[in-house]
Chains A and B, each alone.
Chain A
Amino acid sequence: MIDPIDDDLAALLQDAKPIAAPEEAKARVLTRLAAALPPPPTGGGGSGGNTAPSPPAAPLAAGFPAWALAAALAVGAGLGLGGSLLLPPRERVVYIDRPVPAAPVTVAQVAAQPVPSPSGLRLEDLPRAPTVTPSASAASAAHGEDLAKERAVLDVARSALGRGDAANTLVATGEHERKFPQGALVEEREALAIQALAMQGQRTGAQARADRFRKRFPRSMLLPAVDAVVGSGPDSRERDL
């Protein structure tokens, strides 16, 4: 009933098909949901069984710290929306502003923990997304301009690398580093620089920079390409020498 989309647009769309989300965000949402939803019924949650079994009366699932759940509860209380329903009487919860580690935790594991007074909780009472202020939008516009400038500098690096011109790639990545030390495209800059160093035969420099890259961006989509250039991990240096 309808023809396929044009080839050029199809190729473009292909690059936008991957589906991904940060594991840290998943863990945080999981924690908030575990605090908001009633616990699963005791005595089994159906015959499907593809979720983790509920550990009876365990303090919290292994690898999932108590402060993370406490933090989620405190967020709910702090917003003043249903906080009194979420928290047990006389229990004091302190909010600790630390990132939640990306532990492999299932909803069932967390939800099986003793969440205070979930029964009778109405979903309407739960915290809502924060309202975005005009100043935030203005900051976003500024961010967009910076991003365009960053991209322009890295385009120069990228085309130099494409020509096999490692020296000018490093000049451009150096310029990016000076102008945008904390930019949004630092990851791309570092990957380009590592490739350029490797192209110049600066094996030690490329390896050291790649090691820093792995520590800083452990889940980077550029990591496979970096590994392909310098080896698959910090140990590769010793292995190769």
Chain B
Amino acid sequence: MAAALVDMSERARFDAIFEAEFAYLWTSLRRLGVQERDLEDLTHDVFLEVYRRIGTYDPARPIRPWLFAFAFRFASDYRRLARHRREVMGTEAEESDPLPSADRLLQMKQNQHLVERAIGKIDPDRQAVFILHELDETPMAEIAAALEIPVNTAYSRLRLAREEFREAVKRESRKEARP
């Protein structure tokens, strides 16, 4: 994706990013705790900001960490200003191949809800590193660059985030097991 953006005008680049990465931004905002009913507005706002800042994007770098940084900032403001309570509502997931059974798909959906609830318990700064590394599989150097933090800080946040995530999964699983 990034390589294909090199020779484009800024507007064409924005169009291509919107087309290719809408679902990524949407999913990232959801993972960052934006409620379903607000996702559309927030995604719209993030893309407006992306458009405004498109000139600062370096096509030599991967696009997703750069986009995630916008999502992270908007989601942080959203949580801070409105004190939105994190909740997990209906979510959609891509079909995977080979086709799992309906039973397995339901389990996947429940796991997705569990992961999103547990991520919601992680400190926001660590949350960003955790999502980028564990879900987006972004290299740590890119994460550090996108979030404008030292690499060692990124590692440190990831370690702590994993601990928080592990504990949160245990707690949430216990809650689910309760009748």
Contact = CB atoms under 8 A, between A and B. Distances in A.
Contact of B106 (A18, A137, A143, A188): A188
A80 interface: no
Interface string B12-54: 1111101100111011000100010111111111011101100
Contacts of B99: 224-225, 228
Contacts of B100: 225
Interface in B63-92: 78, 82, 84-85, 87-90, 92
Q: Helix, strand, loop or mixed for chain A's interface? A: helix
A224 to B, nearest CB: 4
From DSSP, what is the main secondary structure of chain B's interface residues?
Answer: helix
A184 B166 CA distance: 28
A141 to B, nearest CB: 7
Contacts, number: 203
A120 interface: no
B155 A195 contact: no
Interface of A: 1-2, 5-6, 9, 12-13, 15-22, 25-26, 28-30, 32-33, 36-37, 40-41, 45-51, 106-108, 111, 123, 126, 128-132, 136-137, 140-141, 143-144, 147, 151-152, 154, 158, 161-162, 184, 188, 191-192, 194-195, 219, 221-226, 228-229
Interface of B: 4-5, 7-9, 11-16, 18-19, 22-24, 26-27, 31, 35, 37-45, 47-49, 51-52, 78, 82, 84-85, 87-90, 92-96, 99-103, 105-112, 114-116, 134-135, 140, 155, 158-159, 162, 165-166, 169, 179
